[in-house]
Amino acid sequence: MSKGKASKGFVVWLTGLSGSGKSTLAQALCEKLEAAGLPIERLDGDVMRGVFPNTGFTKAARDEHIRRVGFMASRLEHHGVIVVASFISPYREARDFVRGLCKNFVEVYVKTSIEECRRRDVKGLYKKAADGQISGFTGLDDPYEEPLTPEVVIETEKLTLEKSVDKMLQYLKEHRRID
């Protein structure tokens, strides 16, 4: 049997605070890539936690969650799938672990200030944290370790959604991940 085309799989990994815009950007990016007929799998924190509902928010639980998802992303990438992953993934070491598993890892730092995330409060979680109903919340009483050398930085307070997606696509084109 002849071999298929060379794999063009890669992993776009969006990291940032809750409400920073990861899922919104992932969705918009996937729409563009799907329109181009490319094989995509979207992995999202909320969906994964729905599948593994016992996943907690301690450092150990968060790290395990990211390792589990990262391994899956790397296997999909290996088979030529474009993976768009949106996870808070607050710890640098866990993100770098996933980077190490993947061949082509594009870390996108969705950089939105905590003030803006609190203002958006898409899920009402910042209010709950302020009211003391939840603790260990990333950026408030739990750490978020900013990426030091991400491939792409998206400042959502400065760029529109459309420009943000263009910036990611531009990176992928410049680095010959897509045509």
Ligand X SMILES: Nc1ncnc2c1ncn2[C@@H]1O[C@H](COP(=O)(O)OP(=O)(O)OP(=O)(O)O)[C@@H](O)[C@H]1O
Beta strands per DSSP E along 16-172: 40-44, 82-86, 105-111, 152-155
Question: What letter would DSSP give residue 1?
Answer: -
Residues with Cβ < 8 Å from 129, sequence gap 6 or more? 135, 137, 140, 141
* Contact code string over 141-160 relative to ligand X, x by CB under 6 A: ---------------x--xx
45 binds ligand X (CB under 6 A): yes
Binding piece for ligand X, criterion CB under 6 A, among 31-39, 71-79, 89-97, 119-127: 119-127
Measured distance CA(89)–CA(46) in Å, rounded:
12
Residue of 23, 74, 89, 164 marked active site? 89
Structure-block tokens of residue 165? 């997606």
At residue 93, what are phi and psi to the nearest 5 degrees?
-65, -40
**Shortest gap between Cβ of 84 and Mg ion (angstroms)?**
12
Residues with Cβ < 8 Å from 40, sequence gap 6 or more? 30, 33, 34, 81, 82, 83, 84
Measured distance CA(129)–CA(158) in Å, rounded:
26
156 binds Mg ion (CB under 5 A): no
24 binds Mg ion (CB under 5 A): no
Among 25, 29, 85, 98, binds ligand X (CB under 6 A): 25
* Contact code string over 90-109 relative to ligand X, x by CB under 6 A: --------------------
Q: Establish whether 89 is a catalytic residue.
A: yes
Residue 25 contact, options Mg ion, ligand X, none, Cβ 5-8 Å cut-off depending on partner type: ligand X
Q: Which residues bind ligand X (CB under 6 A)?
A: 16, 18-25, 45-46, 86, 88, 120, 122-123, 156, 159-161, 164
